[in-house]
Chain A
Amino acid sequence: MRNYIFQRLIQLVPILFGITFLTFAMIHFAAVDAVDFMYQQGGSVAEEIKAAKRTELGLDKPFLIQYGNWLAGFLTGDMGRSFISGKLVFETFAEKLPATFELMTVSILLTIFIATPLGIIAAVNQNKFVDIVIRFLSFVGNSLPNFFVALLLIYFFALKLNLLPIIGDNIIMPALTLTIAMGAKYTRQIRAVVLEELEKPYVTGARARGVSEFTILTKSVLRCALIMIITLLALSIGNLLGGTAIVETIFMWDGVGKMAVDAILMRDYPLIQAYVVWMAIIYVAVNLAADLLYHYLDPRVKYE
């Protein structure tokens, strides 16, 4: 077990190296010059001033040295300063991350509490009216882009019914937006896995022994659904992280997703770089955690 975790962490090293190198190279070779962009608004600025600014930001050095400096800084917890605000990237990031985590946690919990019962109800009532309605809803949820869901929620709940404030600290609408897309997928998968489980011989055996349907569902089938949920969580965390960028921007939720979109529009490269790297780290870490949980719930799964 400990060996396995260690091995996975070792595997992370080349991946992180690749990720940082790739984003760094892209910013260096393909991007609009940050200093040119900074002075774009203020009319023409002497080349000397621009050059001085580049020296100040370390942008005049060769690419590999810039990358080396950045990597050394990153490993010691120093990710540079924002081009725009001048604040430490790490501080800005640490300040915004809790809001994103809060949004993600609430969406995941909402999704699990909505999708698990819906998936089980649909499976138990296969091809009956309830099942068809649930399948239809999950299909619709799956075909709606999250920014449209967000705007629809604003339109109905904030503008038409006046139930919720449009922007600000209210988590209900941003969380609900993320939940709808995720919940639609989860419901569908949980339904499929429960249907498969209900056909297995041990369920027939349990029924023959007179075990009540309720006990079968809560004792055996729920466990499979749980394992499915963990698999889905690991798979959907990437979509969720991407989704927060859009949803946070729409609802003005002050997290890292909105920070990244703002940083992109302002060409604030140190912040973008930090965002990409940290999201990848979180993504890989969640996947590792899911693997371990998976093993805990289903000891048949062997570590490679």
Chain B
Amino acid sequence: MNKKLLPNLILAGGLIFVAVFAEFLTPLDPYAQDLEGALTPPNSVNLLGTDRYGRDVLSRVIIGSQTTLCAALLLLLTISIFGSLIGAICGYKGGKLDTFLMRVSDIFLAFPQMVFAVAVAGILGGGLFNAAAALAIIGWTKYARISRSLALTIRTLPYIDAAKMAGTSSAGILFFHVLPNIAGPVLVTAALDIGTIIMELAGLSFLGLGAMPPTAEWGAMMNNGRSMLQTAPWVILAPGFAIFITVAIFNLLGDKLRDVFDSRNKD
């Protein structure tokens, strides 16, 4: 493990810790309404104030980290594994399957991702799962492209021939020799992608096409508070800065990971 990565890993790990144990970390019940205490400015009890139903904004931001981060990481895990598996098979096997799947990915690449996601999430009728699915439909192509081009190089290397001569099956070569060597670049791409995915998911929720009320999700919280920007800015600023800090931490991690990876490749 590279020492340069440690501070970034601690920050990102901290965020994931908050997301996983969110239920135990909220100072107040994030869903408890108190209409008399609605839109209270930040004070000693409600550190970040309350929203229009009197719910504690800080607790909602904390519980919202679970919704946002889990959805983003699950989505990322799915598309990176699925995408790189398809790409690796295409690159390693070649032939008609390769041509066909790459044509399919061409079609998806002709869409501006967010335009497509907005339309698909809208057609499917909103909800966090549909929003994530809408992003996944285009998202996997990036990973397929990267791992395909890597697999194309890897399959010409001597150790693949050696494995073939040793009698390893195609599937064996793919899983034990091709995929492990694709993992590095895919990991870097995924790390650099987390921030974008979080922003896109939150953006869909902000448009009312993602997480549905009363679920605490950062984008949806900002959407609900939009009309109160003047009277109760904390309702918007708190989840907004939560997104910013989260994205910044993951972007830093991605940048560092890429630097480490690039310098290792140069040596």
Contact A241 B114 (CB under 8 A): yes
> Most B CB atoms within 10 A — which of A19, A145, A155, A265?
A145
Whether B54 sits at the interface, judged by CB under 8 Å, is no
Contact A146 B203 (CB under 8 A): yes
Contact A276 B125 (CB under 8 A): no
- The answer, among A16, A30, A246, for a CB contact under 8 Å with B203, is A246
- The answer, among B111, B118, B207, B236, for a CB contact under 8 Å with A19, is B111
Whether B115 sits at the interface, judged by CB under 8 Å, is yes
- Given A19-B110, A139-B248, A246-B207: A148 in contact with B115 (beta carbons within 8 A): no
Interface residues on A, range: 35 or more
Q: When chains A and B are docked, how far (Å) is the Cα of A140 from the Cα of B14?
A: 20
A residues 139-181 near B (Cβ < 8 Å) are: 139-140, 142-148, 151-152, 154-155, 159
Contact B118 A242 (CB under 8 A): yes
- Given A142-B251, A147-B203, A151-B226: A30 in contact with B107 (beta carbons within 8 A): no
**Which residues on the A side are within 8 Å of B123 (C-beta)?**
23, 26-27, 30-31, 264, 269, 272
Contact B114 A144 (CB under 8 A): no
A residues 241-266 near B (Cβ < 8 Å) are: 241-243, 245-246, 249-250, 260-261, 263-265
**Which residues on the A side are within 8 Å of B248 (C-beta)?**
139-140, 143
Whether A86 sits at the interface, judged by CB under 8 Å, is no
Whether B42 sits at the interface, judged by CB under 8 Å, is no
**Which residues on the B side are within 8 Å of A227 (C-beta)?**
none
- Given A143-B247, A155-B229, A245-B207: A276 in contact with B195 (beta carbons within 8 A): no
- Given A242-B117, A249-B207: A284 in contact with B244 (beta carbons within 8 A): no
B interface footprint on A118-150 (CB within 8 Å = 1, 0 otherwise): 000000000000000000000110111111100
6 CB < 8 A contacts A-B: A19-B110, A26-B123, A31-B124, A159-B229, A242-B113, A284-B110
Whether B119 sits at the interface, judged by CB under 8 Å, is yes
**Which residues on the A side are within 8 Å of B116 (C-beta)?**
276
A-B pair number, CB within 8 angstroms: 137
**Which residues on the A side are within 8 Å of B251 (C-beta)?**
139, 142-143
- Given A147-B203, A246-B207: A23 in contact with B119 (beta carbons within 8 A): yes
Contact B115 A276 (CB under 8 A): yes
A145 to chain B, nearest CB (A): 4
Whether B71 sits at the interface, judged by CB under 8 Å, is no
Whether A216 sits at the interface, judged by CB under 8 Å, is no
Contact A154 B229 (CB under 8 A): yes
Contact A283 B124 (CB under 8 A): no
Q: When chains A and B are docked, how far (Å) is the Cα of A68 from the Cα of B260?
A: 53
Q: When chains A and B are docked, how far (Å) is the Cα of A250 from the Cα of B237?
A: 16
Contact A280 B111 (CB under 8 A): yes
A282: nearest chain-B partner, CB-CB: B112
Whether B230 sits at the interface, judged by CB under 8 Å, is yes
B239: nearest chain-A partner, CB-CB: A148
Q: When chains A and B are docked, how far (Å) is the Cα of A246 from the Cα of B202?
A: 11
Contact B203 A275 (CB under 8 A): no
Leading 10 A-B pairs by shortest Cβ distance: A242-B114, A264-B122, A238-B112, A18-B107, A143-B248, A145-B199, A148-B240, A143-B247, A241-B112, A279-B115
A239 to chain B, nearest CB (A): 7
**Which residues on the A side are within 8 Å of B111 (C-beta)?**
19, 238, 276, 279-280, 283
Whether B259 sits at the interface, judged by CB under 8 Å, is no
A234 to chain B, nearest CB (A): 12
**Which residues on the A side are within 8 Å of B244 (C-beta)?**
140, 143-145, 148
Q: Which residues of A does B touch, CB under 8 Å? A: 14-16, 18-19, 22-23, 26-27, 30-32, 139-140, 142-148, 151-152, 154-155, 159, 237-239, 241-243, 245-246, 249-250, 260-261, 263-265, 269, 272, 275-276, 279-280, 283-284
Contact A148 B243 (CB under 8 A): yes
Q: When chains A and B are docked, how far (Å) is the Cα of A23 from the Cα of B118?
A: 12
Can you name 19 extra interface pairs (CB under 8 A) apart from A145-B244, A246-B206, A276-B111? A18-B104, A19-B107, A19-B110, A27-B123, A31-B125, A143-B244, A143-B248, A145-B199, A145-B219, A155-B233, A241-B114, A245-B114, A264-B118, A264-B123, A265-B122, A272-B119, A272-B123, A276-B119, A279-B111
Q: When chains A and B are docked, how far (Å) is the Cα of A283 from the Cα of B247?
A: 27
B55 to chain A, nearest CB (A): 20
**Which residues on the B side are within 8 Å of A147 (C-beta)?**
202-203, 206, 219, 222
Contact B207 A280 (CB under 8 A): no
Whether B106 sits at the interface, judged by CB under 8 Å, is yes
Q: When chains A and B are docked, how far (Å) is the Cα of A68 from the Cα of B233?
A: 50
B residues 88-135 near A (Cβ < 8 Å) are: 103-104, 106-107, 110-125
Contact A264 B209 (CB under 8 A): yes
Q: When chains A and B are docked, how far (Å) is the Cα of A246 from the Cα of B219?
A: 12
- The answer, among B112, B117, B222, for a CB contact under 8 Å with A151, is B222
- Given A146-B203, A151-B226, A280-B110: A241 in contact with B115 (beta carbons within 8 A): yes
> Most A CB atoms within 10 A — which of B115, B120, B199?
B115
